[in-house]
Structure 1
């Protein structure tokens, strides 16, 4: 397995999709050899390495049943980190990596067309707990010499007021977060008397991932902050799987993982629409063969002006997403596109919707001066787009994202057990 960056394929090492396929074919035997050391794959591979398409699909249910170390392919003493997914199934999905695995993980994440470098101040605003996301960005940034600001978004020690102060005072140049975070930052900055588009001149780019983002929302975020928004796609089980090229297309890292498409009829094809199935090619701690992420995607092989010769992927979200309204099926992507194509001057950033009993209700935060126009425009757009009637309600700014949440400056407390007569001893032991 790789021990240095130079052992890994790099962009430009192949000049066609045919050469890319040859690179995958050359690596696959070592991937199968590593998988054969895992208890989970030992029996399927006991007769020797079969063709990849002869192996069964590995499911999330398989990973849950193998918890915690049923897919371990190395001695446990060689593990560098242990992680669990952020999924909501109620059962943990474990992932683990060696130091050599981490070289591949970090190098893939750092494949950004606005690159990470030694002069960067990099705010990592994703969880640092069992999910891989914060650790991945941190490792990639340090690999390339950047200074990391570890702004975990699950920590009471990093409220939004502190995020804005750090972004401004430290001259942060790059950030890594979910797309929704960047809109919340914009609202918090404005409440602090700052203009996102002009008062953060050091900012070069916003790296985003962790949730699907439509072109409309990404364009709005870019206009608000005045910098490119660069999309990333991956998972705790796999690390980075795709990144954006200079032409604005999301490319799957097929030199590091083989993608397949699982279709609703149960067949598996090389490209098209369906659920994404991946076989990472550089994994030793936890080899995965034909792992179904259950994300709905579109994968196509076509030439791109970037010259990377990698398939293009469009991430649509978790398979099965969406709700019926009348004769239509409404997805979050459908509504997000309509909300963020409203004119910027209306200031609509935060919204929510509910599809129930054949009715679609959408609520948007909007200033009183623009409420009638925003409600009318969005109602008409939903009627002409998805083709359903919707009840659109205007809410006062601060309803969905409370202003107090954006301005509070929380204390960082430490455990105490002795209190004075006028102190709140409800904070003993379980401090917060």
Structure 2
């Protein structure tokens, strides 16, 4: 469990120093993301964009063969399967999230030293925390796929970018601008997603007009709130982005249309995971292409068969992270994979439907935290198996927790602090410890249940 001390120091600092701290951290992350093999790998991926289906199949087959051999020979959990020198994907059983949560080190390759790896945490859309290890090289290659995605918006790291995500910019109870901080290295303006009340939207739009970002990225429901205000109040923007990049939440076609109308550009959605097993993103024609060099995506059908196409539970195999290769991992989302001819010319498979990461929100005194942001409150808590947050009335939530033996009072305090830092100290939180949280009728776990506030879209 991480310490809150760095955040407390940041929040106690004046705004000018917070900008310095954000820029300092931004410079550190820039080096960690974009050095090493990053640029060379970007060029490699660009050469592969328009491979035909046969070429893609051959490429992925070679990458998969190498990954499976490496895993079977160097990863304890897979060595125990005794699969021999040339294992096939069908030889590997389905990998449950709980197996990783209980013993992440069993999935580490013996070729890597844990202390030299980057540690990532994910709460996921079911608030079931995982600790993932990834090498610096794999992390840098991972961000090469982001550049491939940005190419569709004619954007490069270093162009001005406005970001609305779930990290804390300032205290939620502080309702005075600026609601943004600046990352100098990447020319990135980070906006708070928690202060987007009707009263504050004008300040956001004024800052966007003066900053004039090339792209806007972040949670779609946060961006939608800005777009809705632009349309409803006939606000004129002094800039036109080359694209709006969204991720982490599902949103409706109507919401997409409102965002595109407000900002005068296309929305490009992206789907991925902190586990580094899948990367898919929309092309210019709105089809979400699955990147073949990143991972293999399959579906577990209702009949219990694992297929390369069709509808069902998504099963992912990483081709990128050799330090912790997850094979036939049940990622926790439902979707549909098809192989079709896209007008953009890309022959990679398409994720035509995605039923995970549903965009509900928790609200308190005008502040909203979407599902993707709420997940952050749980991602460092290794002592919980599953969690769900329910709002039935204003100013109050109930957190349902399935805990493990290592969950204690400090863990509970940590979680409450994380939730209140998003939604304010006035939020009343009750804890309900349960033995299980059942899935929805579609088999998907719902992390946020909103029974009080109804997020509506104008006709």
* Structure 1 length-normalised TM: 0.62
Structure 2 SS opposite 1:287? coil
- Does residue 72 of structure 1 match 2:108? yes
Which deviates the most, 303-312 or 78-87? 78-87
* Residue of structure 2 aligned with 1:10, choices 22, 34, 45: 45
User: 1:194 Cα shift?
Assistant: 7.0
Matched, 1:117 2:163: no
How far has the Cα of 1:268 moved from its partner? 0.5
Give the secondary structure class of the aligned counterpart of 1:64: helix
Distance 1:148-1:38 versus aligned 2 partners, 3 A rule? farther
Conserved? CA contact 1:31–1:287, under 8 Å: yes
Q: Secondary structure at the match of 1:110?
A: helix
Change (3 A) 1:39 1:166: farther
2:177: which partner in 1? Answer: none
Q: Structure 1 residue 115: deviation in Å?
A: 3.0
> Secondary structure in 1 aligned to 2:107?
coil
| Alpha-carbon shift at residue 42 of structure 1 (Å) | 2.7
Q: Give me the whole-angstrom Cα distance separating, in 1, the residues matched to 2:77 and 2:283.
A: 36
Distance 2:209 2:358 in 1: 41
For the Cα contact (< 8 Å) 1:275–1:319, is it kept in 2? Answer: no
Partner residue in 1 for 2:66? 30
Q: Is the 8 A contact 2:122 2:131 kept in 1?
A: yes
Counterpart position of 1:330:
none
Are 2:332 and 1:298 aligned? no
Unaligned 5+ segments in structure 1 are 130-140, 322-353, 355-398, 402-432
Moved over 4 A (4+): 159-162, 187-191
Larger radius of gyration: 1
TM superposition shift of 1:4: 4.5
Instruction: Give 3-state SS (helix, strand or coil) of 2:355's partner.
Output: strand
| Alignment partner of 1:100 out of 134, 137, 144 | 137
Q: Secondary structure at the match of 1:227?
A: coil
Any conservation in 2 of the 1:109–1:240 contact (CA below 8 Å)? no
Structure 2 residue runs without a partner (length 5+): 1-35, 169-182, 360-391, 393-452
2:258 pairs, out of 195, 220, 234, with 220
The structure-2 alpha-carbon separation of the partners of 1:153 and 1:276, relative to structure 1 and needing over 3 Å to count, comes to same
Deviation at 1:146, TM superposition (A): 5.0
Q: Structure 1 pair 232/45, CA: closer, same or farther in 2 (3 Å)? A: farther
- Is the contact made by 1:85 and 1:94 (CA closer than 8 Å) also made in structure 2? no
Corresponding residue for residue 317 of structure 1 = 355
The 1:32–1:239 alpha-carbon spacing in structure 2 relative to 1, beyond 3 Å, is closer
Describe the superposition over 1:325-351 as per-residue Cα deviations: whole angstroms up to 9, x where unpaired. xxxxxxxxxxxxxxxxxxxxxxxxxxx
Residues 246-304 of structure 1, C-alpha deviations (whole Å, 9 max, x = no match): 22211111232111111011100110111111112111232111112131211111121
Per-residue deviation, residues 168-191 of structure 1 (Å, max 9, x unmatched): 221122121121111212355579
Q: How big is each residue's C-alpha offset from its partner over 1:211-239, in whole Å with a ceiling of 9 and x where there is no partner?
A: 12333331232112221111111122126
Matched-pair contact (CA < 8 Å) for 1:85–1:237: no
Contact 1:31 1:283 in 2 (8 A): no
**Residue 265 and residue 65 in structure 1: after superposition, are their counterparts in 2 closer, same or farther (change >3 A)?**
farther
TM-score, scaled to structure 2: 0.59
Q: Which residue of 2 aligns with 1:136?
A: none
Equivalent residues of 2:278, 2:294 under 8 A apart: no
After TM superposition, give the deviation of residue 75 of structure 1 in Å: 0.8
Q: CA RMSD in A?
A: 3.3
Q: Deviations over 1:52-104 (max 9, x none)?
A: 1221111222222224x342232112213422223334x42122322111122
Q: Distance in 1 between matches of 2:357 and 2:38?
A: 36
| Equivalences, count | 305
Equivalent positions of 1:413-424 (< 5 A) are none
State the Cα distance separating 1:318 from its structure 2 match: 3.2
- Correspondence 1:257-268 to 2 at 5 A: 257-268=295-306
Q: 1:88 to 1:313 in 2, by over 3 A?
A: closer
Mapped to 1, the partners of 2:146 and 2:61 lie a distance apart of: 23
Distance 1:304 1:205 in 2: 20
Aligned pair in 2 of structure 1 residues 4, 274: CA closer, same or farther (>3 Å)? Answer: same
1:275–1:294 Cα contact (<8 Å) kept: yes
Asked if the contact 1:234–1:241 (Cα under 8 Å) also holds between the matched residues in 2, the reply is: yes
Cα 1:110–1:168 change in 2 (3 A) is: same
Q: 1:416 aligns to what? A: none
SS at match of 2:304: coil
Determine the C-alpha separation between the residues in 1 that align with 2:203 and 2:353.
32
Q: For the residues of structure 2 that align with 1:254 and 1:278, how far apart are their CA atoms?
A: 12
C-alpha displacement at 1:122, in angstroms? 0.9
